[in-house]
Chain A
């Protein structure tokens, strides 16, 4: 089986178990979104899938091979991760940043092939950053900056892309713009996308496969319309909510109860 899998995966932070004995598959060429309450371990799980965190026990498989058995550079050609809130060094330009994505494909005597040049340009075009390529990353808006980092991960040319809360710090317009972009990337270029999102409604809209992490396990996994229910939201987020179909997309829409102004 292709894609990412875990077998009896246990992750600890210090002595504190975060994920315990997890068996879990991520389908290829789909958008998978991890959701869960704060501190549920969804980011930790994502980081371990990208070998940024070593499992305490258990295994992770990529294309049926154990992650530990493949050289880290080989993994870098199969899987890229955009960590949460990356910081660019002072003064680096968009082009220089995106170029770094070619690192796993280069050698010390082969640093700027035709292919590198074309793929970097392709990544800049896809993220609509070509006109801004000589700008400094610090000088960009939040949305543009996030796109520059995504362009770097695109230049890495990996079939699997992991993103840790890519919409953090972005306003609503830029959140939608970014998720639309990732959606196109999946639908047009068949990239497998795995990301952590906070907003359950956006997750329902974009995810082919929604994964809810709760109590150190995958509580439930499936298409959002199958799994998102009032009971599920209560269990995972401990929140009373009403689930309706989104009037525009038909995907589940979670309306939290609680207090607020009432006009009806």
Chain B
């Protein structure tokens, strides 16, 4: 493997990048830009990429509404949601040291769903629906805290975290079904769209809010990220290297929850992205956690942008929730992973 080493400011700053990583990063970024533009061009009427460029650089104002009000926020939201879910899955898989972990399987998404559905069924007509994201994020955070506390026994071990997460997730899904059965038809249809995960009617407000939520864990990940590589060598080795293991686990879990719950809050349950993106990234660039963060983000973004592009153009005039497509690829992928890991 070819390395590039960077050393600056009299060795105060130093890091290493592999050539392979650079290649994957550039190709991934280019692909994302390509699909981003394609996504702006496509829809019920086709706008050529040149026109898209002209609109974006304010050289024309012909497509202002379609691009700047409808398609641009929607595509940006897809990018944000995809990278947040992907990175959340990456964090969880690293904490748990198991490629089968992801925010949907461990119960964070279910917590957010329960919070949101409870809010929709109780709050419709009572409180403003713009508060829905807070209900979902609180649901996710409360669930994660709960799972963490139950798993605690002189420290949290990954396997307890997963098993209790799966259990809590099942209870919450039952709770969601219960709420749906006892709610009005109007509420149920609204909740259903949210549950499957749709980017329909994305607004600039959603984009900026989600952006700021994602900005919370990002610096933490950059500063603490390298400790994750050590933790993957086992708890004993991590402690021996001077890592405060329980503290680290709590902080990273918090980051994963914020990423997953906030994206669930704005688009609902888009499943399996958190499972697939880190796995694909690892295939492409190997094990380094810090190196995986941007690649996982790009792949997650690509998955959601493409899923949403298919969902809203293939069955025109129907606008199908993007979550249907991520699940359609993700579920078989999950089975494949289970099959591959059957002997471990």
Mask, A82-114, CB within 8 Å of B = 1, is 010011110111001100110110101111111
Q: Within 8 Å CB of B223, what residues of A?
A: 108
Q: Within 8 Å CB of B226, what residues of A?
A: 103, 106, 108, 111
Contact B236 A86 (CB under 8 A): yes
B160 interface hit (Cβ, 8 Å) = no
B142 interface hit (Cβ, 8 Å) = no
B239 interface hit (Cβ, 8 Å) = yes
Contact B237 A86 (CB under 8 A): yes
B184 interface hit (Cβ, 8 Å) = no
Contact A76 B287 (CB under 8 A): no
Q: Within 8 Å CB of B229, what residues of A?
A: 100
A51 interface hit (Cβ, 8 Å) = yes
| Residue on A nearest B8 in the bound complex, by CB | A109
Which listed segment binds A: B32-40, B241-249, B292-300, B304-312?
A: B241-249
| Residue on B nearest A95 in the bound complex, by CB | B1
Contact B234 A86 (CB under 8 A): yes
> B16, B227, B244, B286: which contacts A112 (Cβ < 8 A)?
B16
Contact A87 B236 (CB under 8 A): no
> A79, A100, A111: which contacts B14 (Cβ < 8 A)?
A111
B5 interface hit (Cβ, 8 Å) = yes
A100 and B241 in contact, given A89-B97, A91-B286, A113-B7 (Cβ under 8 angstroms): yes
B342 interface hit (Cβ, 8 Å) = no
A180 interface hit (Cβ, 8 Å) = no
**Contact residues on B (Cβ < 8 Å of other chain), bracket:** 20 to 34
Mask, B209-246, CB within 8 Å of A = 1, is 00000000000001111110110111011011111100
B15 interface hit (Cβ, 8 Å) = yes
Q: Which of B233-275 contact A (CB under 8 A)?
A: 233-234, 236-237, 239-244
A81 interface hit (Cβ, 8 Å) = yes
Shortest A115–chain B CB gap in Å is 8
| Residue on A nearest B232 in the bound complex, by CB | A89
In the bound assembly, the distance between CA atoms of A255 and B13 in angstroms comes to: 58
Contact A76 B11 (CB under 8 A): no
| Residue on A nearest B97 in the bound complex, by CB | A89
A144 interface hit (Cβ, 8 Å) = no
In the bound assembly, the distance between CA atoms of A86 and B39 in angstroms comes to: 48
Shortest B304–chain A CB gap in Å is 27
In the bound assembly, the distance between CA atoms of A52 and B243 in angstroms comes to: 11
A83 and B7 in contact, given A89-B233, A108-B223 (Cβ under 8 angstroms): no
> B15, B16, B240: which contacts A52 (Cβ < 8 A)?
B240
Q: Within 8 Å CB of B240, what residues of A?
A: 50, 52, 76, 79-81, 83
Mask, B44-88, CB within 8 Å of A = 1, is 000000000000000000000000000000000000000000000
Shortest A137–chain B CB gap in Å is 10
Mask, A187-227, CB within 8 Å of B = 1, is 00000000000000000000000000000000000000000
- List 10 other contacts, CB 8 Å, given A52-B236, A103-B227, A110-B11: A50-B240, A76-B242, A89-B97, A89-B233, A89-B287, A91-B286, A93-B1, A104-B242, A110-B13, A112-B16
A-B contact pairs, 20 of them (CB 8 A): A51-B239, A52-B236, A76-B241, A83-B236, A86-B234, A89-B97, A89-B232, A89-B233, A96-B288, A100-B229, A100-B241, A103-B230, A104-B242, A106-B226, A108-B222, A109-B12, A109-B15, A111-B15, A112-B14, A134-B1
Interface residues of A (CB under 8 A from B): 47, 50-52, 71-77, 79-81, 83, 86-89, 91-93, 96-97, 100-101, 103-104, 106, 108-114, 116-117, 134, 156
